[in-house]
Amino acid sequence: MVQIVSILITISRPNSHHTLPFTSLHHKNKKKKENIKRGCLSFDLFVVLVWFLCKDQWLEVELLVTLLMEKCSNTMLMENGRNPLLGKVLPLSIQPLEKLSTKFKLVHRRRLTKLWKAAKTAQKSWVKTPLWRRAELLHKAAAILKEHKAPIAECLVKEIAKPAKDAVTEVVRSGDLVSYCAEEGVRILGEGKFLVSDSFPGNDRTKYCLTSKIPLGVILAIPPFNYPVNLAVSKIAPALIAGNSLVLKPPTQGAVAALHMVHCFHLAGFPKGLISCVTGKGSEIGDFLTMHPAVNCISFTGGDTGISISKKAGMVPLQMELGGKDACIVLEDADLDLVAANIIKGGFSYSGQRCTAVKVVLVMESVADALVQKVKAKVAKLTVGPPENNCDITPVVSESSANYIEGLVLDAKQKGATFCQEYKREGNLIWPLLLDNVRPDMRIAWEEPFGPVLPGFKDSGIGSQGVTNSINMMTKVKSTVINLPSPTYTMG
């Protein structure tokens, strides 16, 4: 029986109907059969329609998310209204766009239990897939991901207020990362070790030992809102090339882009049940996911939530990429023009909402005033506004984030910090701000603002989720010992 569940994601000006090229295929019924052959559509599809209201005008963008439930197994999604799937709905409010009328489907625990079982079953078959075939499918997924960069980037713009040019870059870079992981995985996993027994005192060479890397099983991947595509594939690709199955819990804001990205992996031909995507509120389903006995490894990117996960997860391997207070250290002989340019890029890209952003500047007093003037001049040139206009500074992700940032700013002001610009905020939009003469007793000196505010003292980095580290984290060493009837030195 054909089952089509339509869920609306149309953003429109009155009396206007514009569609993305990727989604327009859905309306061409006469070409449906041809499109299905090409992998563009499925009879079992979900069309997601979301109404965004941006201040005083309607924007219309239609996004088609085909989840291929029969082919691709357990994927929860968003909907406007009711759905035959189990669970309740979660209202989603994306504050950068002022108003959003969308509801996410929360996954019922009974369905999650079935999902874990499906992931376990799929992994047992997937581990027997040749390494070259896993890499081949990852390359195919990377190509499909880059082919659909426009609609996915549109999701990033609308969901998390990412500047349009940066949104496209994130999708393309994600595809490149998947391909790179495929190649690196073949290199890492294609080799093992040969050990002999007479290296330990008192032993003869009566044993040989062969070691190789094998998958852990089911990986739970939890990416953050700021890079819901890139930091998701940095978990998905290593898990798959290593022979694991994966359950993705995308961020609430960024889930549409993540669902669209997962669909690209489904279109590439990965087996049913191997990659699942679960939407829902972390505070409600997070513990059930992270503490489930079927989970064999957790890869998490975020903030203090990682501490809570580590306390509850038990004896499960954890890969954590958490927050920090990354410093830019400026010495007396530094090229101040180069330093200023990199401070602007490192501190204010995507409004400072990056775990690798510059969070504080430590500068020698003899060059501090000159550097402040150079950075101040560059800050004045940053554009501020909506992400659709490719502005440098766009709204931060939520009202609570904006309130937190404002709290740090007001604390610094009360304690005597020098404001190099006037502090300005409209809703979730915070203008870029450079603070001078920051002292250790100010909150901004130690706490991560995750926004376009940069403190400086007188007197970005590579995370733990690189490809090699992720593959090593998501595998374990298997040893095979061969007992010999007598010592031999003709091998090894």
The angle formed by the CA atoms of residues 259, 471 and 261, to the nearest 5 degrees, is 10
Which of the residues 159, 184, 321, 448 is marked catalytic?
321
Nearest to 211 by CA among 197, 229, 191: 191
Tokens linked to 488: 């031999």
| Of 155, 264, 277, 355, catalytic | 355
Give the residue ranges of DSSP H helices in 51-108: 69-72
Query: Cα 164 from chain centroid?
Result: 17
**CA distance linking residue 231 with residue 229, whole number of Å:** 6
Q: Using CA atoms, how far apart are residues 50 and 207, in angstroms rounded to an integer? A: 64
- What token pair was written down for 121? 């079953």
The torsion angles phi and psi of 458, rounded to 5 degrees, stand at: -95, 175
The tally of CA atoms less than 13 A away on the side-chain side of residue 47 is: 22
For 257, residues 6+ apart whose C-beta sits below 8 A from its C-beta are: 152, 155, 156, 159, 160, 228, 229
CB atoms within 10 A of CB 19: 17
**Beta strands at 453-457 and 433-436: parallel, antiparallel or unpaired:** parallel
φ/ψ of 327, rounded to 5, equals -105, 145
The three state secondary structure string of 345-384 is HHHHHHHHCCCCCCCEEEECHHHHHHHHHHHHHHHCCCCE
Q: E strands of 256-413, at which residues? A: 275-277, 297-301, 318-321, 327-330, 360-363
Task: Please say if 447 is a catalytic residue.
Answer: no
Long-range contacts for 88-92 (Cβ within 8 Å, ≥24 apart)?
Answer: 90/252, 90/279, 90/280, 90/281, 92/252, 92/253, 92/255
For the question of residue 321 being annotated catalytic, the response is yes
| CB-based contact 223:232 (threshold 8 Å) | yes
Active-site positions read 321, 355
